[in-house]
Amino acid sequence: MRLQKDGSEMRNEIIIIGFVAICSLLVAVFGDGDLDRDLEITWGDGRARMVGDNNNEQILKLSLDRDSGSGFQSKNQYLFGKIDVQIKLVPGDSAGTVTAYYLSSLGFAHDEIDFEFLGNLSGDPYVLHTNIYTQGQGDKEQQIYLWFDPTKNFHTYSILWNPLNVIFYVDGTPIRAFKNLEARGVPFPKNQAMRIYSSIYDADQWATRGGAVKTNWSEAPFIASYRNFNDRHACVWTSSSSSSSCSSHHQYSWLRHSLNASGEAMIKWVQKNFMIYNYCTDTQRFPHGLPPECSSP
């Protein structure tokens, strides 16, 4: 591991980290979602609940014990959107647990855009796992370490999904972009409406160090907390009319947004410093050639 950086590298990282902090503040200011209005608890037999904090702010808590996890979903379906939520992850020894937050159409040939947070032994960094499915086909995994402790405070996790690309953000920092490369034969999720889902569940057969570290049930219940769900920049799909609330509003800038050079540089910074797995570099997994989206356009 290289411990020292030259002056230009240090200046670049200071600029990027400063920009990250500004983005984080802006996202926090604009979060104004109503959890009762926008979300519904779907399973867990009482393990998921809505509470108020000291500022009378809505907090949705999902918990996991030896008997069951819990989960919620959005009341709306979406066909494209920018959707934010703030999450505080399970503290302490969370090994074996997974907190998942994702868009999905469900079903055999489903589309899906995933954030998954893999638990850890106390003191180890959290692993953030992302993936994208189109027509039931995934195999597009990337994993990074987060550059902060996600259990101490709420942090904002965002998905921007439009006809051009899918971009994952953490506190306003783009960490991954998946471009629409249908012209090169790469399927892209654009035809199926999706809901937001979130759950906490036991996955100690694979989640922590490939399943080597098992869930310590003496630490249960494991609790993840949510606030400030924001879907106001999303196209709500109405199945009865087979139409989207954005179908006639092409002026929405996020529908045309893709990363500029600065955004691409931030993703490269994340990959250089925090990436631990990228399917696009896994030649053992793809011995006959990497997927076409892995090569430069």
Query: What is the full DSSP assignment across 194-257?
Result: BEEEEEEEE-TTTTTGGGTS---GGGPPEEEEEEEEEEEEEEEEETTTTEETTTT-TT-GGGG-
Residue 135 clears pLDDT 80, i.e. is over it: yes
Q: What is the mean pLDDT of residues 81-109?
A: 96
Q: Give pLDDT tens digits for 163-172.
A: 999 999 999 9
Q: What is the pLDDT of residue 82?
A: 95
Q: What is the pLDDT of residue 251?
A: 54
Catalytic residue, candidates 9, 40, 57, 112: 112
Indicate which residue of 116, 141, 182, 293 is catalytic.
116
Predicted local distance difference test score (pLDDT) of residue 241: 63
Q: What percent of the chain is predicted at pLDDT more than 70?
A: 84
Question: Domain extents for the chain?
Answer: 7-294
Between 40 and 125, where is the model more confident? 40
pLDDT digits (tens, 9 = 90+) for 174-207: 999 999 999 999 999 999 999 999 999 999 998 8
116 catalytic per annotation: yes
| Whole-angstrom distance, CA of residue 273 vs CA of residue 257 | 26
CATH number for the domain whose boundaries are 7-294:
2.60.120.200
Place 26 in a pLDDT band, splitting at 50, 70 and 90.
very low
**Dist CA 269 CA 162 (whole Å):** 24
The answer to whether 141 is a known catalytic residue is no
